[in-house]
Structure 1
Amino acid sequence: MRALTVRPGHAATPSPQEIDEPTPAAGELLVRGLALGVCGTDREIARGEYGQAPGGRDRLVLGHESLGRVERAPDGSGFGAGDLVAGVVRRPDPEPCGACAHGEFDMCRNGRYEERGIKGRDGYGSEMWSVEADYAVRIDPGLGLAGVLMEPTSVVAKAWEQIERVGARAWFEPRRALVTGAGPIGLLAALLGRQRGLDVHVLDRVADGAKPEAVRALGATYHSGDAADVVSALRPDVVVEATGAGPVVFDCVSGTAAYGIVCLTGVSPVGRRLTVDAGQVNREIVLENDAVVGSVNANLRHYRQAADALAKADVDWLHRLLTRKVPLERAGEAFEQRPDDDIKTVIMLDPDAA
């Protein structure tokens, strides 16, 4: 079968290679790969900046944003042939820290976790793959190809859970949310905000095209102006920051309403310096009881929350996020620089899945 493989630490355009089909272990599902979402982490691995192959090997099967159809499932697993599924990315440390031992492996303290398609385990970028039944999540069949959005939706489901847990330290009835960045994470964060009944605003650089159209179709408000001006005018109760751009981060942190919560989901590049009035930022956070929290990855609970959120969403809206579909034989195109109005690129492992 064909799989999308890379040599971590070596910059090269990923391309399909022939590898052996998987032999599921006891308790595992055998899954036919349908599609694979591509994100910034995948591009970093392709550039040789990140990633780790399984022990004793120099190649890694890429892919952590999965969509597949069950071919065979063990008795009593709760799955059956034909089910649409996604595979969970992270696995806890085999000698777990306290967080991993309690099922919160997205909060691993010692960093010895493994991640499929990223760190120490092959990913889901192959025509067939296997996954432990306990780390598979069923997808509403009505979603079709949009089920490939499960993994990024799990990330924002966790972010919203973190926001609500922080807010619960006192009375918390947010009305207005700002999402910075209209990529997949930002738009899915906006979706979950709208599902919570909030007045959602989305800020991004582009002025027209697929991103503002998707925001407006969601019933949210789109902005493309200066971040400081937008934040100052809105005074949001909640910010989901999905750009990782330093100036935007600090504009958000210093511009919320009282008791504002900023959840950082974008990873900032290192080596870029920014001059800020740290005293003023500190003063506002303290005197307004604001909170800033970072959030990354997801555990099983968040995948299930994501499955529920996607099942409730407008399917046509979800499909409009899939702006580029690339066949497996041309997978390298998925790693090329994208135009600003592109949202989600998907590699088609099965051409009939479209």
Structure 2
Amino acid sequence: MRALTVEPLTSGSAEVRDVPDPEAGPGEMLVEGLALGICGTDREIVAGEYGWAPPGRDRLVLGHESLGRVRTAPPGSGFAAGDLVVGVVRRPDPVPCGACAHDEFDMCRNGRYTERGIKEIDGYGSELWAVETGYAVKLDPRLEHVGVLMEPTTVVAKAWEQVDRVGSRAWYEPSRVLVTGAGPIGLLAVLLGVQRGLEVHVLDLATEGPKPEAVEALGAQYHSAGMAEVVQRVAPDVIIEATGVSSLVFEAMAGTASYGIVCLTGVSPVGRKISVDVGAANREMVLENDVVVGSVNANLSHYAAAADALAKADLDWLSRLITRRVPLARFEEALRGRPDDIKVVLDLAG
């Protein structure tokens, strides 16, 4: 079979290769790969910035945003041939730490977790893949053309769960949310905010094209002005930060209404320095009971929540988020971002 492989920490090593077909072991099912979402993590691995091959191997099969169709499944597993499924990305560490022992491997404390297509386990960027039935999630069959959005939706589902958990420390009744960034994570955060009945605002640099159109189609309000102007106008109770832009991160910390919550989902690049009045930021957060929380990855409960959110969403709107579909053989095109990209998808099924 064909698979997109890379030699981690070696820039320019990505290529489509013929690799042996996987064999489903006990408790596993064999899945025909349909699509693979491309994200910044994949681009960074291809650039040689990080990534870990499976033990004893030089190359890693790339890809963690999966979508496939079951070919064979163990009897009594709850899966059957023809089911539409995605594979979970992370696996708990073998020790395990306390979080992993409670099935919250997204919160692993010792860093010994593994991840499909990222850290020590082959990913889903192949024409066939095997997956443990306990680490696969069935999707509504109607999501065949958009189900590849599942993994980024799990990240957003976790972010909203974290916001709710923080909010529940006292009386909690948010009404306005600001999402910074209108990429896949940001737009899916908008979707879940709208599904919660909140007044949602979005801040992004684009002034035209698919991003403003996608926001407005959900009934949310799109802004392209400066952060300070937007937060003054909106006074958000919650900010979901999905850009990782350092200056926006600090503006978000100071941008909520009193007793506000900022959830950081964007990863900032290292090495860039900005001047920050830490004392003022601390004073404001303390005096207004503000909270800033980071959120990354997802566990099985978040996959279930994401599957439910996608099943409730408008399929035409979800289709707007997939702005390019590229054949596996032309994977390099998918790795090169374009200004109007939202989500780029590799077609694994030809």
State the TM-score, normalized to the length of structure 2: 0.99
Structure 2 distance, partners of 1:238, 1:262, is 6
Do residues 124 (structure 1) and 133 (structure 2) align?
no
Matched, 1:58 2:72: no
C-alpha distance in 1, partners of 2:324/2:347? 10
Distance between the aligned counterparts of 2:232 and 2:288, measured in 1?
A: 15
Residue 100 of structure 1 deviates from its aligned partner by 0.4
How many percent identity over aligned positions? 69
Residue matched to 1:279: 279
Give, in whole Å, the separation in 2 of the partners of 1:137 and 1:78.
10
Give the Cα separation in 1 of the matches to 2:101 and 2:145. 34
How many equivalent pairs are there?
350
Are the equivalent residues in 2 in contact too, given 1:180–1:203 (CA < 8 A)? Answer: yes
Matched AA of 2:188: L
Task: Name the CA distance, whole Å, in 2 between partners of 1:201 and 1:216.
Answer: 10
Deviations 1:182-241 (A, max 9, x none): 000000000000000000001111100000000000110001111121112211000000
Compute the displacement of 1:60 (Å): 0.1
Determine the structure 1 residue equivalent to 2:242: 242
Cross-structure match for 1:344: 343
Corresponding residue for residue 305 of structure 2: 305
The 8 Å contact of residues 10 and 46 in structure 2, kept in 1 or not, is answered as yes
Q: Which residue of structure 2 lines up, in the alignment, with residue 149 of structure 1?
A: 149
1:40-77 deviation line (CA, Å, top 9, x unaligned): 00000000001000000000000000000000000010
Letter in 2 for 1:260: G
* Alpha-carbon distance, 1:13 to partner: 5.8
Q: What residue is the counterpart of 2:225 in the other structure?
A: 225
Structure 2: distance between partners of 1:47 and 1:158: 28
Q: Distance in 2 between matches of 1:242 and 1:250?
A: 13
Deviations 1:234-278, CA, capped at 9 Å, x for gaps: 110000000000111111110100110000000011111111121
* One-letter identity of the residue aligned with 1:349: L
Q: How much has 1:15 moved relative to structure 2?
A: 2.5
Match of 1:95 in 2: 95
Deviates more, 1:6-15 or 1:121-130: 6-15
Tell me what 2:258 maps to: 258
Deviations for 1:153-180, whole angstroms, at most 9, x for unmatched residues?
Answer: 0000000000000000000000000000
Partner of 2:208: 208
Q: Is the 8 A contact 2:178 2:239 kept in 1?
A: yes
| Equivalence for 1:2 | 2
Aligned-CA RMSD value: 0.7
Letter in 1 for 2:268: S
Aligned AA for 1:297? N
**Misfit runs of 4+, over 2 Å:** none
Amino acid at match of 1:245: V
- Code of the aligned partner of 2:215: V
**Aligned partners of 2:7 and 2:13 also within 8 Å:** no
Partners of 1:132 and 1:172 lie apart in 2 by 39
1-structure distance, mates of 2:322, 2:133: 27
The answer to whether the 8 Å contact 2:5/2:59 transfers is: yes
The answer as to whether partners of 1:228 and 1:248 remain within 8 angstroms in 2 is no
Letter aligned with residue 307 of structure 1: A
Aligned match of 1:16: 16
- The answer for the alignment partner of 2:321 in structure 1 is 321
Q: Which residue of 2 aligns with 1:45?
A: 45
Report the 3-state secondary structure (helix = DSSP H, G, I; strand = E; otherwise coil) of the residue aligned with 1:145.
coil
Q: Is the 8 A contact 1:13 1:332 kept in 2?
A: no
Give the Cα–Cα distance (whole angstroms) in 2 for the partners of residues 162 and 342 of structure 1.
28
Q: Is the 8 A contact 1:100 1:108 kept in 2?
A: yes
Alignment match, 1:188? 188
Gap runs ≥5 in structure 2:
none
Residue pair 1:14, 1:331 contacting (<8 A) in 2 also: no
